[in-house]
Structures are given as structure tokens and as C-alpha cells.
Amino acid sequence: MVITQIAGASGARCRIYIDGQFAFVLYKGELRKFHLQEGQELPPDSYREITEELLPRRAKLRCMNLLQSKDYTRKQLEDKLAQGEYPQECIDGAIAYVESYGYLDDLRYARDYIEYHIDSRSRNRIEQDLLQKGIERTLIAAAFDELEGLGVEQDEAAMERAVRMDLMLHAYMFMQSGIPVLYSGDEIGQVNDYTYKEDPNKAADSRYIHRGAMNWKLAENRKDPDTVEGKMFQGLAQLEQIRRSEKVFMTEADTWTIETWDDAVLCIGRYFEGEKLIGLFNFSEYDRTAWIKEADGEYVDLLTGSKIQPVDVQMPAYGFFYMKKIS
């Protein structure tokens, strides 16, 4: 194997030709490492090290670096490596490597894309976008099927569970001492915004997933209790009113946990200036029982106004209670 040409590519990279045929691209530092010069024989051991160790390792690192900034489809990543003139076997190996760790997943990419655009684009437009990004039509259909199961396309039962879980998590947050924080859009259940990955100034900070532009069109539904936005907005408003009006939520209140004998159910107690509140939160998608025994008086659920006894409390999936002692 004779190195017949070393041609400049871009920057510190050089294109290497062996026996008159393009072979691979190396950096100038790598040329010096292997003592490569035009007209010289390339030792078999050096060729093997370059093609079986150096280039595959560099291709994997290139993939990892690209995926740190944003998600790619398999086709997009293959194109990036091809632009870097990696041998096809290196491209295949690098793609297989990142797929094996779950860093590259066309089905996940399609789900995320659909979830973000479902309210603003037609299904046909979304399908065409994803096809252009190199995702197979069967994967696009599978992504739509999965998201339909999660309620993205108006599965009322699934959406009802999602709203209940979201409100339960906020109720748990409000039960903590300190100042609860809502990002703009949380109050109407706005979905994640994945477009931050397309902005190089934001792509490395995943917190931007919750900081998308406010969807004012959906916000108009906040007064309609039959919509997701209305249920979220009014549910959070009720929680805010309770937290604002009950002094037991003061930061100086005593707080403790109560054993429920169920890992999916959390019970927190708060006490301040003679007032006691018990918060129960079911983190499970199934109905559960909180096996507590707080039989020290009468309680009322601040959410419904109904009297409730905090003893062996039956809890619906993703359910929660704010139980205040009244006597």
C-alpha cells in the first residue's frame, strides 16, 4: 500500500490516497504520529490501527459531541459523518454504538416532534417533515399510535389521568415550605418545547424544554372547565387560594412525614399555631390505600369541603387530599 497523495481538506485535516484511491481523512497531528508521507509504503499495522481503532473511535466521539447539542435522526447523523468523509464501516459502527446506549432513537425523535407540533400542524405536514429528516414511514406511524395512546390526539381518559397527575404533583409542591414556582405555560398544562435544541445558544441547557413561548391560543381556554387548559388553570388557582389563606403553610410551620405503608403514597403533616394539615399524594396510576391512623379529631378536605377521616384513606390514581383538622 503506497501513499500516492496527501491533499489538504479543511483546517487541519488532510485527505489520504492509497494506490491512487481516496482512503480516509486524517488530522495533521495524526500524520506526524504515523510518519506518513507521499510516496512511502503504509505499513499494514499502521493501516489496521488507523482503520480499525483511530477512525472508529473518532467517529463515535463525533456522534457523541453532535448529540450533546441536540437530537438527530439516524439519517441526519449518517449525513454528518459522511460529510466528514468517514469510511462507511466507521459510520455504521458509530451509529450502532450510540443507538445501543439509547442516545439515538428515531422513534423517540418522532414522538417528541409530533408532541410539540400536533397543535399547530396537520398530521400530513408532520409526516412530511419527519420523512424529510430521514425517519421511516413505519416509525412515524408507530409514533402517532403511541402518542394517541397517551392522549395527544384527544384520548379523553388518558388526558384526564395526565391532568390529575399534573395537579397532584403541583399540590405536592405547594405542600412544601418556601415559594412554589410556576414557569409560564405550566398554568395551562403547556407541553414541552423541544425547539430549544435548534438554538445553539440554548441547546446545551435542557431547562429550556420548559421555557417555550406562551401558547396564547390555548390560554384562551383557561376559563372553560371542559378543556385541559381550564382544568389545569382552575385546579392550580384553587391550590394557590388554599395555600394563600391557610396559615399552616407558613414557612415556620413544623413539618413531618407519616408512614402510609405503601411506597407509592406519600403523607406529609404540617402544624402551625394550633392548626394541623395532612397532605396525601398518590404517585401511582392505580388506586391505593393510605394506611394512616390520624384519629385525633375531625378533618375536612380543603379541596372539596367534605368531612374526611384520615384513617385508611382510599386514594384514586394520582389522587391527593389536603385534610385540615377542624376539631
When pLDDT is averaged across residues 4-25 and rounded to a whole number, the result is 87
* pLDDT, position 117: 85
Q: 3-100 with 248-325: one CATH topology?
A: no
pLDDT at 153 (0 to 100): 46
17: buried, middle or exposed (CB in 10 Å: 19+, 13-18, 0-12)?
middle
Residue 107: count of CB within 10 angstroms of its CB: 15
Smallest Cα–Cα separation from 174: which of 258, 268, 99, 88? 268
Residue 207 — pLDDT band, cuts 50, 70, 90?
confident
Task: Determine the pLDDT at residue 175.
Answer: 96
* 248-325 CATH fold: Immunoglobulin-like (2.60.40)
pLDDT digits (tens, 9 = 90+) for 93-111: 999 999 998 889 999 999 8
Q: What pLDDT was estimated at residue 167?
A: 95
Helix/strand/coil for 72:
coil
Residue 293: what are its φ and ψ, rounded to 5°?
-135, 60
Mean pLDDT lowest among 3-12, 18-27, 226-235: 3-12
Query: The pTM is what?
Result: 0.56
pLDDT of res. 122: 79
> Residues near 124 by Cβ (< 8 Å), separated by ≥ 6?
none
φ and ψ at residue 190, rounded to 5 degrees: -65, 140
User: What pLDDT is attached to residue 191?
Assistant: 77
pLDDT in tens, 122-167: 778 889 999 999 999 888 888 887 775 555 445 677 778 889 999 9
Q: Where are the domains of the chain?
A: 3-100, 106-150, 156-245, 248-325
Nearest to 318 by CA among 178, 167, 179, 165: 165
Phi-psi region of 235 (alpha: psi -120 to 50; beta: other; left: phi over 0): alpha
How far apart (Å, rounded) are the C-alpha atoms in residues 318 and 283? 5
How is residue 121 written as a grid cell?
A: 400542524
Per the document, the length of the chain is 327
Residue 326 is which amino acid? I
At residue 89 the predicted structure's pLDDT band, cuts being 50, 70 and 90, is very high
CATH code of domain 3-100: 1.10.10
C-alpha triplet 146, 151, 155: angle, nearest 5°? 120
User: How is residue 32 written as a grid cell?
Assistant: 506526524
pLDDT over 70 for what percent of the chain? 96
pLDDT at 152: 47
Report pLDDT digits (tens) over 232-266: 999 999 999 999 999 999 999 999 999 999 999 99
pLDDT at 313 over 60: yes
Lowest mean pLDDT among 41-45, 61-65, 112-116, 121-125: 121-125
pLDDT score of 213: 83
Question: Closest Cα partner for 314 from 282, 276, 285, 283?
Answer: 282
Calculate the dihedral angle through the C-alpha atoms of 59, 65, 67, 69, rounding to the nearest 10 degrees.
Answer: -150
For the segment 175-184, the average pLDDT, to the nearest whole number, is 89
Sign of the CA dihedral with 285 first, then 286, 292, and 296 last = positive
Q: Which of 28-32, 105-109, 212-216, 290-294 has the highest mean pLDDT?
A: 290-294
Model pLDDT, residue 197: 67
pLDDT value, residue 1: 83
> What is the per-residue pLDDT for 194?
65
Q: Could you tell me if 141 and 127 are in contact, meaning their C-beta atoms sit under 8 angstroms apart? A: no
Tell me the average pLDDT across 182-206: 80
CA distance 149 to 155: 7
Mean pLDDT on 298-313: 96
Query: What's the chain's average pLDDT?
Result: 89
H or E segment to which residue 290 belongs: strand 288-293
Query: Nearest Cα to 284, choosing from 250, 305, 325, 314?
Result: 314
Could you give the CA distance from residue 302 to residue 239 in angstroms, rounded to a whole number?
A: 9
